[in-house]
Chains A and B, each alone.
Chain A
Amino acid sequence: MSTPHANAMNGNVYATEGGAALYGMMAEFDTPADLTHAAEKVRDAGYADWDVYSPFPVHGMDDAMGNPPTKLPLVVAAIGLSGAGLGMLLQWWVTSVDYRIVVQGKPYDAWQPWVPVLFEIGVLFTAFTALLGMLAFNKLPMWHHPLMKKERFLKVSDDRFVIAIEAADPKFDPQKTRDLLAAAGGKHIELVEE
């Protein structure tokens, strides 16, 4: 429980009746279709700091939320190709500079035999970047989150669908946000403490 702090944009300080800082507001939905329609409404209302929680990635949800495409593939491509380049450099340095031995009378700098190892090292870098990059972009691992203290939220990993809007959002307003979520079909609308 942390002390209430001001919303960066509108300067309002939100706290629950118990005096705890407010993380935001969550609402539950029954089906992927309800969730998608509600997400479209929240998107159109202009919210920025909010998220949708579902037991599996719902088809078309990125459009419904208006999420921009992720930059992860660019990072993975850059690091994967650099890894392959490092693999090439290692083999060139070992084979033609530091440890020149005659193998079957072939030139020291023939690049063809380096292709398999070059490929494998490139794949290794790509795979590590894909996993670690995904975690880094998602700010994981993070073994705590205000939503995880909510008993109802723990059912998302089973079969519930949740939309949570953060109090840090400039458009957040305890009453208007609640009305929006209710109009979008949200059930069990609750405040979430920080």
Chain B
Amino acid sequence: MTTLHPDQHAAGRLAGLVPDPGAPRPWDPVTGDGTLVDDAYGRAPLVLGDRSFGSVTDTVCGYVEKGPGRWWMPTFLISAHVAALVPLMVGYLIITGVGVWGLNNRIDWAWDITNFVFWIGIGHAGTLISAILCLLKQKWRTSINRSAEAMTIFAVICAGLFPGIHVGRVWMAWMLFPIPNANGIWPNFRSPLLWDVFAVSTYFTVSALFWYMGMIPDFATLRDRAALRMLQQGGPVPWSARLRAYAFGLLALGWRFSQRHWQRYEKAYLMLAGVSTPLVLSVHSIVSFDFATSILPGWHTTIFPPYFVAGAIFGGFAMVLFLLIPSRELFPGMKDFITLRHLENMAKIILVTGMMVGFAYSMEFFIAWYGANRYELDVFKNRATGPYAWAYWTMISCNVISPQVFWVRACRQSPLVIFLVSLAVTVGMWFERFVIIVSSLAQAFLPAQWGMFYPTPVDILTFVGSCGTFLTLYLLFMRFLPMFAMSEIKNVMPQANPHAGHDHH
């Protein structure tokens, strides 16, 4: 290769060997923004724009200090109004009773549990990126982990809403937890529904701890910048800088970037990644036990735990891409951190997990036939040809067929195509849960039990409200918290290597 590898370019510029180009890197028809190189000798650069450490800090802190731009406030207001549907609909539900939903005696789990499983699944990509890719030393995770972890937490908040209100008498929901009470009643520790309570609440807590711990150094950076501004400002200090200095100062806990602290911090981070990895696998496995341990045909299968986990990662990555692709257009400079290579890597994960999910769909049919269980075979025949066939084929087209475009290089490198596929996958994954839950209940053992489920406006608006809640929380995150793990991004830049300047790494 005659041209310099981008890593060498950045290292050379810092050493004064290569002149500063000044202008942004020109678009290359083969390598796109410069990251789509198929160079066996090196890896694609993780940060573009020949950035110094200082310019990473300036850009990422700039999103918090200057705000994301004019689009933010209208978007926030709209999504906050949509989110307001949740208290309205839930309030109406509590005052009136679960009869306001379309549930009936045959189909007693429908949109509520579909939405629960949908949202809890969305969360899984964040933990996969922050924990599993951390253990696998995948350095490209550093620019997407913070926002994906945020999505995990917001998705679990949305998920937690549904089982809470679906118990009917919401004011008794505290009995889900083993709290000593005057009635002397304890929860049943042999029930998967109770395991779910523990799995989801642990998942939320551990994700929040992981997220907060990752942000401590970045809070300290924001604190120091605000403090410097207060020290250097000649005239009156703007209230926003003062507020940032105190708020981020409080949250940073006095972090001062000491190496003796970093040593324990990195060890603690690794241990959190180590326990989050089995945790994330356990959460959706336990969610699948809610179904798999019942005797209902269509639910009672041993393939559910791995199938649900693969589906959760699939749907979660789709949501990450669905939010990050517009973000990188809206925020100046974000394309330097989330490069085309990042998008391509995630598109490949979508393809792999989509194939796993497709394999699980076909294996369910194979076992229904091979297992010679008459009821199970009928349930699956009904799924593909019965009254819910439209939902089933929507699921198949969105989840199995649409990701196949990623076999084509041009498609998995095009942000627009990836965006459209991730939208399709998000829709498809909602339908997957709907198909599993509702179509199995709609035609159980006896024809006398058969019936259809029709959602009421309350069902629909509660789900729409949960989407608004998710988006509102994400918009607040983008506005007020560091969107990128600055210390981690700096650590994977070529000039962070203490041996930079030598020929070998």
Contacts and interface: CB of A to CB of B under 8 A. Distances in A.
Nearest to B218: A157
A53 B195 CA distance: 44
A76 interface: yes
B54 A126 contact: no
Contacts of B192: 116
B505 to A, nearest CB: 11
B361 interface: no
B128 interface: no
B496 interface: yes
Given A31-B495, A53-B257, A156-B257, 9 more contacts: A52-B259, A56-B491, A57-B262, A72-B268, A120-B282, A123-B275, A148-B254, A157-B221, A157-B223
Main secondary structure of the interface of A (DSSP, over half): helix
Contact of A51 (B210, B258, B486, B487): B258
B242 to A, nearest CB: 15
Interface stretch (B197-205, B377-385, B426-434): B197-205
A98 interface: yes
A157 B52 contact: no
Contacts of A103: 188, 190-191
B405 interface: no
Contacts of A58: 259, 496, 498
A159 B257 CA distance: 11
Given A116-B282, A123-B275, A143-B254, A137 B264 contact: yes
Nearest to B53: A159
Contacts of A138: 258, 260-261, 264-265
Interface stretch (A11-19, A88-96, A175-183, A185-193): A88-96
Contacts of A32: 495-498, 500
A20 interface: no
B391 interface: no
Contacts of A95: 189-190
14 contacts: A32-B495, A52-B259, A72-B267, A110-B190, A113-B190, A114-B189, A120-B202, A127-B272, A130-B209, A133-B268, A138-B260, A154-B224, A154-B228, A156-B257
B336 to A, nearest CB: 16
Contacts of A91: 189
